[in-house]
Amino acid sequence: MYRNFFKRLFDFTVAFFALLILSPVFLVVTAGLYFANSGKPFFFQARPGLNEKIFKIIKFKTMNDNKDSNGALLPDADRLTPVGAFVRKTSLDELPQLINVLKGDMSLIGPRPLLPQYLSLYNETQKRRHLVRPGITGWAQVNGRNAISWTKKFELDVWYVDNISFATDIKVFVTTFKKVFKSEGISQEGQITTEYFKGNDDKG
């Protein structure tokens, strides 16, 4: 019952009131990134959601579009603006995804929506992460976030799919705030975020 009905009701209700309460923060961050990123405060990107359906995720844009002499984008570390670094450290870059939750593209809690090019790289077990709506935060995020391996991250995603409950979602919800406050697991060692997923040796 929770998985098929109350979870969506919970998502919509919390997202709606969260956007109302956090609207001053939303406006301040938008203004700061507007000036930091030459009038582009938001980042839109295609991501696979429930049943691998593609949607456009909305995030605050934490990196500028500066390029080298050959026209290629500079490394992430060189494009991360001071404002963007603060927004990312505090996880405020995820705030616009509440709009995705209202639209039904995402859930508050679920496997994080990754890049479409990863779809062909998953093994059959890992594909099961798309049997539920992707989340702003999830079981993998409160158990290591970007600081754990892809294999472990996908194991945690699939565990969540098999064990969805209101109690689990509340635990993830509360733990997420603790992780954000401590700025834990935001990136892998030596990197701004995390390395790209390159597939499995075992496709089974």
Start-to-end Cα distance in the chain: 32
pLDDT over threshold 90, residue 118: yes
* pLDDT for the residue numbered 50: 97
Q: In angstroms, rounded to a whole number, what is the distance separating the alpha carbons of residues 116 and 178? A: 30
List, in sequence order, the alpha helices (H) in the chain.
7-21, 23-36, 76-79, 82-89, 97-103, 150-162, 166-182
**pLDDT average, residue stretch 117-132:** 96
Specify the pLDDT at position 186: 45
Question: By the 8 A CB rule, do 60 and 95 touch?
Answer: yes
Whether residue 177 is predicted with pLDDT greater than 90 in this model: the reply is no
Which of 29-38, 86-95, 148-157, 177-186 has the least mean pLDDT?
177-186
pLDDT band at 190; cut points 50, 70, 90: very low
Q: What is the pLDDT of residues 42-74, one digit of tens each?
A: 999 999 999 999 999 999 999 988 888 888 888
Give the Cα separation of 179 and 12 in Å (integer).
23
For residues 154-168, give the mean pLDDT.
Answer: 96
What is the reported pLDDT for 193? 56
pLDDT of residue 178: 83
Show the DSSP H helices in 61-145 as ranges. Answer: 76-79, 82-89, 97-103
Whole-angstrom distance, CA of residue 48 vs CA of residue 105 = 9
Least Cα distance to 121 among 46, 57, 196 occurs for 196
Q: Report how far residue 105's alpha carbon sits from residue 50's, in angstroms, rounded to the nearest whole number.
A: 8
Q: Quote the CA–CA distance of 136 and 111 in Å, as a whole number.
A: 8
Q: Is the pLDDT of residue 77 over 90?
A: no
Report whether 66 contacts 89 (CB < 8 A): no
**If you average pLDDT over residues 189-193, what whole number do you get?**
46
